[in-house]
């Protein structure tokens, strides 16, 4: 049952803050299956004056139904409730968005640890005291700093730069060049996941399936929320706040202000820029900047199709620009690029074929034979196949023309 509160006219509390006046009232809802507990908490919050109780609920499901329309700044949740307890309700609140703060209220201490997995502001023990309310409001104000009368620019207006290197390794650095150190390996993996997949809405179940498929659903949910909290907290400590929101079963991610080598690399690869005297330098720059597979040694299972995609971009760039260099007579430049390509993609037959042409045109019979034998051995050991018949024929013709 929803218990609507009468229209309340709270005095606006004026708070001193760096010699400015700040107007601040937070909107709250209370969810508890005991009416006396609701009445006491509501009275204490109203006495404080900085929190307006917009509605109270005896049933958690009714609170969920009204959450979107009420848009509260904070929800006070009793933990021990029938049908749906406060922890399950907190999970539903987190799924609906990251902007609503949560304060748990309980007579039992044993729920405190699991409660904070949902990024709770505070855990109030019953019986509630005015000191406990004061501490809660203090923490809420620290989480949601009020808007000052002199308007400050929004956080998204001029976001600090942060840089991510994903080709050949995975490194994130802040605007001052400091390396971002992740609290857990899973936090680091989630950051990599969101960077690559976050350009489109990501279904929540895809994240759970890709990162926590070995855990029961409830435990996986808990790990996702906890890891997201750690990720945002780590980035915030480096002066960067990404937008990570949840709606309609999907996470929406915006890493505005982030510079990434993989995004620029992919944009150039997809441009299909013809190789000319004007674009040659850009091709050379990108194939030299390619340091290896996406995320390097962090070969996350979910990243395999992305690793293959970027390796394909690199392979195509090298082949295209090497053909150009061979036509221009720059055999040594082409040879170097092709040999580097084979260090990353050892089974690329096109690279071997172009190298055979280079050694043939150079009249270097020994290198021609050596490279053909290497190709034959690699293809057999890695793929269990022989070189294509066309390459076999080409090789025999080259040997015949070069003679002994």
Is residue 75 domain-shared with residue 166, that is, in the same domain? no
The domain containing residue 304 runs over which residues? 274-282+296-402
Q: Are 338 and 354 in contact (CB under 8 A)?
A: yes
| Two tokens, residue 301 | 């299972």
Q: Is residue 300 part of a domain?
A: yes
- Rounded to 10 degrees, the C-alpha dihedral 199/205/210/216 comes to 160
Sort 302 into a burial class: Cβ within 10 Å, 0-12 / 13-18 / 19+. middle
Task: Examine residue 337 and state whether it is found in any structural domain, yes or no.
Answer: yes
Cβ pair 57, 66 in contact under 8 A: yes
Q: Please name the residues in contact with 129: beta carbons below 8 A apart, sequence gap of 6 or more.
A: none
Residue (of 158, 157, 165) closest to 259 by Cα position? 165
Q: Read off the pLDDT band of 15 (50, 70, 90).
A: very low
Q: Are residues 125 and 172 in the same domain?
A: no
CA distance 88 to 91: 5
287 located within any domain = no
Res. 142: pLDDT tops 60: yes
39, 125: one domain: yes
Confidence of residue 117 (pLDDT cuts 50, 70, 90): low
The pLDDT assigned to 22 comes to 36
The answer to whether residues 125 and 132 touch, using CB atoms and an 8 Å cutoff, is: yes
In a domain, 252, yes or no: yes
Q: Which has the closest alpha carbon to 168: 262, 255, 301, 231?
A: 262
Closest CA to 80 of 32, 136, 132: 32
> At 75, is the secondary structure helix, strand, or coil?
strand
- Whether residue 241 is found in the same domain as residue 278: no
As for how many domains the chain has, the answer is: 3
pLDDT at 404: 67
Neighbour-count burial for 163-187, b at 16+ CB within 10 Å, e otherwise: bbbbbbebebbbeeeeebebeeebb
pLDDT of 160: 47
Contact 48, 36 (CB under 8 A): no
Domain boundary (82, 113, 143) is at 143
Question: Over the stretch 346-389, which tens digit does the pLDDT of each residue have?
Answer: 999 999 999 999 999 999 999 999 999 999 999 999 999 999 99
Please tell me whether residues 170 and 134 are part of one structural domain.
no
Q: What is the DSSP letter of 202?
A: E
Same domain as 179, residue 127: no
Q: Are residues 39 and 130 in the same domain?
A: yes
Residues 186 and 278 placed together within one structural domain of the fold: no
At 210 the pLDDT is: 95
Over residues 157-208, the pLDDT tens digits come to 444 468 899 999 999 998 888 999 998 999 999 999 999 988 788 999 999 9
For 219-265, what is each residue's pLDDT tens digit? 888 889 889 888 988 988 888 877 888 777 888 888 766 778 888 88
Same domain, 136 and 166: no
* 58 within some domain: yes
The average pLDDT across 84-104 equals 78
Percent share of the chain, pLDDT over 70: 86
Question: Are both 97 and 177 inside the same structural domain?
Answer: no
Shared domain check, 133 and 232: no
Helices 35-48 and 130-143 meet at what angle, rounded to 10?
A: 60
Q: What does DSSP say about strands 243-247 and 250-254: parallel, antiparallel, or unpaired?
A: antiparallel
Q: How far is CA 83 from the centre of its chain?
A: 34
Does any domain span residue 265? no
**CA 398 remoteness from chain centre:** 51
Rounded-to-integer distance, Cα 241 and Cα 174, Å = 12
- Whether the CA torsion 49, 51, 54, 58 is positive or negative: it is negative
243: CATH:
1.10.10.10
Which pLDDT score, from 0 to 100, does residue 354 have? 95
- C-alpha 240/C-alpha 254 separation (Å) is 12
Give pLDDT, residue 9.
35
Question: What pLDDT does residue 257 have?
Answer: 63
Q: Are residues 6 and 104 in the same domain?
A: yes
Q: What is the average pLDDT value for the chain, to the nearest integer?
A: 82
Strand partners, 363: none
- CATH label of the domain that carries residue 316: 1.25.40.10
Assign residue 32 the CATH number of its domain. Answer: 3.40.50.2300
CB 352 within 8 A of CB 371: yes
- Phi-psi bin for 123: left (phi > 0), alpha (psi -120 to 50), beta? beta
Tokens (6 digits) for 205:
């179940």
User: CA-CA distance, 69 to 54, in Å (whole number)?
Assistant: 11
| Residue range 268-300, pLDDT digits in tens | 888 888 899 888 989 998 888 888 999 999 989
153: in domain: no
Q: What is the pTM of this model?
A: 0.62
Question: Of 263, 297, 287, nearest to 339 (Cα)?
Answer: 287
Gyration radius of the chain over CA positions: 30
Helix or strand holding residue 275 (H, E): none
In this structure, of 66-80, 90-104, 328-342, 362-376, the range with the lowest mean pLDDT score is: 90-104
Q: Is the pLDDT of residue 112 over 50?
A: yes
Task: Give the CA diameter of the chain.
Answer: 102
Pair of tokens at residue 284: 């050379």
């Amino acid at each position: 049952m929803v218990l609507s509160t009468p229209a309340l006219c709270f005095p606006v509390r004026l708070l001193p803050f760096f010699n400015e006046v700040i107007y601040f009232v937070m909107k709250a809802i209370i969810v508890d299956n005991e009416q006396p507990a609701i009445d006491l908490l509501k009275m204490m919050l109203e006495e404080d004056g900085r929190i307006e109780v917009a509605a109270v609920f005896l049933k958690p499901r009714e609170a969920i139904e009204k959450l979107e329309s009420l848009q509260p700044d904070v929800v006070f949740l009793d933990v021990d409730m029938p049908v749906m307890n406060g922890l399950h309700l907190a999970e539903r609140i987190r799924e609906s968005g990251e902007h609503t703060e949560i304060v748990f209220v309980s007579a039992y201490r044993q729920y405190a640890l699991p409660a904070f997995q949902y990024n709770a502001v505070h855990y109030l023990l019953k019986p509630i005291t005015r000191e406990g309310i004061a501490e809660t409001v203090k923490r809420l104000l620290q989480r949601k700093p009020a808007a000052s009368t002199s308007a400050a620019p929004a956080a998204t207006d001029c976001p600090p730069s942060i840089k991510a290197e994903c080709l050949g390794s995975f490194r994130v650095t802040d605007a001052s060049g400091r390396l971002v150190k992740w609290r857990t390996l899973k936090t680091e993996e989630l950051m990599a996941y969101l960077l690559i997949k976050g350009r489109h809405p990501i279904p929540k179940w895809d994240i759970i399936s890709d990162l926590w498929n070995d855990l029961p659903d409830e435990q996986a949910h808990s790990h996702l929320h906890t890891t997201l909290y750690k990720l945002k907290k780590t980035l915030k400590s480096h002066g960067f706040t990404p937008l990570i929101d949840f709606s309609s079963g999907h996470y929406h991610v915006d890493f505005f202000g982030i510079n990434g080598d993989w995004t620029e690399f992919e944009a150039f690869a997809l441009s299909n820029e013809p190789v000319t005297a004007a674009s040659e330098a850009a091709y050379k720059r990108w194939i030299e900047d390619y340091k290896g597979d996406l995320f390097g040694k962090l070969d996350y299972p979910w990243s395999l199709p992305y690793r293959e995609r970027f390796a394909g971009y690199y392979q195509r760039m090298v082949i295209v620009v090497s053909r150009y260099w061979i036509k221009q007579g720059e055999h040594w430049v082409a040879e170097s690029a092709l040999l580097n390509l084979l260090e990353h993609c050892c089974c690329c037959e096109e690279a071997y074929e172009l190298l055979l042409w280079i050694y043939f045109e150079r009249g270097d019979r020994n290198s021609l034979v050596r490279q053909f034998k290497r190709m034959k051995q690699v293809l057999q050991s890695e793929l269990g196949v022989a070189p294509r018949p066309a390459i076999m024929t080409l090789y025999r013709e080259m040997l015949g023309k070069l003679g002994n």
